[in-house]
Amino acid sequence: MLQFPDMKHAHALVMGNWKLNPGNTLEAKTLFAELKKKIPKTTTAKVVVAPPFLFIPELAKGAASVIKLGAQDVHYEERGAVTGEIGAGMLAFFGVEYVIVGHSERRALGETDTQVNKKVQALLKRKLTPVVCIGERLRDSQGQFFNHIAAQLKALTEGLTPLQLQKVVIAYEPIWAIGTGETATAENVKEMQLFIVSTLTKLYERKVAEKVRLIYGGSVKESNAKDIYEQGGMSGFLVGGASLEAAQFAAIIKAVE
């Protein structure tokens, strides 16, 4: 495997995925307000929260420069007979800037690599930033899981120009570490950072691969964020449960400064 130094971006990205939380608009507004109080306006990190779709219009009214709005999914069609879906143009209208696609929980419902690629292209057309999740379900001692990661990377980059790829964020989320309390070690994360950059270098070239932002997700919390960030070579985090606790989320943001 090719060896690369850390290629962290000047400003780390920390994105909170609220998933199916909280239970109503009032709770969502309260949590959002708490986050704004806890996160210093002087933070050097790019901070994003992705609430459920229904809360986006209300939170957009109170969005501040310190916190950007994200979304948890999107459909690749702008309009049409796709009941229950949300288009990229709709998200852009409410000020959404980052959109998660390919999350393992969506893939478990049947989302394919081809659909992920189409969503990425739809978001780029609307000048929104796709945050594409990749990750293995299990690790084997022979390292076969690397083939799975390589296949996901090849599929998500299909048809993308080098310039388009540089506008994509890749979130490495080992499925075995999502919501389980287990976390990849800093060594695991660093190993995957090197592998992802190596794979992208083969698909494009090194100077392109170096510009793609890589972040880590999977049971990230205050107690492990600093170690993973400093040693794992990634440029930020995709945070699940800990993003629902203002103090915990703020501490993770502090860890990347």
CB-based contacts of 174, cutoff 8 Å, min separation 6: 135, 136, 139, 184, 188, 218
DSSP 14: E
Identify whether the C-beta of residue 212 lies closer than 8 Å to the C-beta of residue 170. Answer: yes
Distance CA 42, CA 13 (A): 15
Look up 103 and say whether it is catalytic.
yes
Identify whether the C-beta of residue 17 lies closer than 8 Å to the C-beta of residue 72. Answer: yes
- At residue 225, what are phi and psi to the nearest 5 degrees? -60, -45
**Helix H or strand E segment including 63:** none
Look up 173 and say whether it is catalytic.
yes
> SS3 helix, strand, coil % of the chain, rounded to 5?
45, 15, 40
Catalytic residue among 105, 136, 173, 245: 173
Catalytic residue among 75, 103, 136, 245: 103
Q: Catalytic residue positions?
A: 103, 173
